Amino acid sequence: MTTDSVNIRELVLGILLAVTKDGEYSHIALAAVLEKYQYLSKKERSFLTRLTEGTLEKQIELDYILNQFSKTKVNKMKPVIRCILRMGVYQLKYMDSVPSSAACNEAVRLAERKGFRNLKGFVNGVLRNVSRNLTKITYPDKNKSPLFAMSVQYSIPEWMLAQWSWDYGMEKAESIAASFCIEGKTCIRTNVTKTTPEQLKADLEKRGITAEPIVRKDYPDFSEGMYLSCYDYLTAIPEFTEGKFMVQDVCSMLVTHIADPKPGDYVIDVCGAPGGKSLHAAERMQGEGMVEARDLTEYKVALIEENIRKSGMKNIRAVEKDARMLDSDSVEKADLVIADLPCSGLGTLRRKPDIRFRMTEEDEKSLALLQKEILSIVCQYVKCGGTLVYSTCTIDRMENEENTKWFLEKHPQFSLEMQRQFFPDEGMSDGFYIAKFVRKQVKS
């Protein structure tokens, strides 16, 4: 199948509409299309992925450009036309391998194919105008409107930038924003019950896959992580389907390092899907004890079970439970509780670009309250002398340090052993927060 016969741009349009109009998550919608069309060549999949992710990632800038060249403003356009034009401008500005004529002509054909023959001239006119004037586009003045200028430059909503500027200063906010424009790498964790990092690296490189070991000077015993590149797609890698590695962010792996589960422990991961931290804990426990990976729905539990099956681990089970409901049978039974809770996800914009326009300040406040609710429930499962690890994949103080402060005030039976905010501009990992609490030996 060629790009023309399948029409890659039409597939991209479908994903963009699913995300921006129907509310689907971009990484899920994209993965579903790549799974369905596995017969596409590596070049075609690469084009599809880049155009999808890039159009979503640069959406604020693309809309800013379109509003300079279109009499009809972006928010007044029909969803299909809006997405077609965004795709077109992204190709014109960011994909040098695509001729300007191809970007314009294919957009016109796509509009016609989708039933908008009457808007062909509009699409053609706007994109030809943008193409002719790309070097003449005027951008906001950073001195006059710093947050607006940064918002357009990095395609991040002003309210997020304002929050980061307030919490960390303007310079750090811009550094964070810039880091989300750097293309991410696929991060994996070796299943050390099936292979070693050294053997996995050698096996992957025999297949022409580059495997770059991740070194953390702050965590010298961290050895199981690698960045992968030069591969086609994961499910075509035997080591992946055999469970010798799974995709997991560096900081997500560090949760288990910091939690430090021991052989024989009873561990409860209260929001465990898809199972990365739970399986990591089971591995570090050397097959002894038990990890109970819980989540809210049958679908999420099935994800955990599939990863357990691939891993071959026996000291782990998946259970469907609502973390907001007290499980009286678990009170003071766990040596370790892992609470990687639902959050705003602002640390993952590199991997999940649609969070930029999906998340709101009100959503953040609601999530912070949900986190408090869950923490107050699940902390009861920790036995005296046991450990509670709270983590999020966000860089929002309200969900992180402020929740930790609140938790300590409300639950004096716990002491804080450590907390750390990992920032996305410190490397290729997500923005991530980890706090480790220990329940005092003597009950309060």
Catalytic residues: 393
83: tokens are 């997405």
Integer Cα distance of 10 and 13 in angstroms: 5
Is residue 304 within 8 Å of 293, Cβ to Cβ?
Answer: yes
- Which residue matches tokens 């957009």? 107
- Render 278-321 in DSSP notation, one character per residue: HHHHHHHTTT-SEEEEEESSHHHHHHHHHHHHHHT-SSEEEEE-
> Is residue 263 reached through a cis peptide bond, with omega within 30 degrees of 0 on the bond before it?
no
Helix, strand, coil tally for the chain in percent (to 5): 50, 15, 35
Q: How far is CA 36 from the centre of its chain?
A: 22
- Does the CA dihedral 146-150-152-157 come out positive or negative? negative
Instruction: Tell me, letter by letter, the H, E, C secondary structure of 135-162.
Output: HHCCCCCCCCCHHHHHHHHHCCCHHHHH
Query: 269 pairs with which residues across the strands?
Result: 293, 338
Q: Is residue 343 within a helix (H) or strand (E), and if so which, with residue range? A: none
Torsion, Cα 318 320 323 324, to 10 degrees, reads: -170
Integer Cα distance of 145 and 151 in angstroms: 10
Kind of pairing between the strands at 225-229 and 186-190 = antiparallel
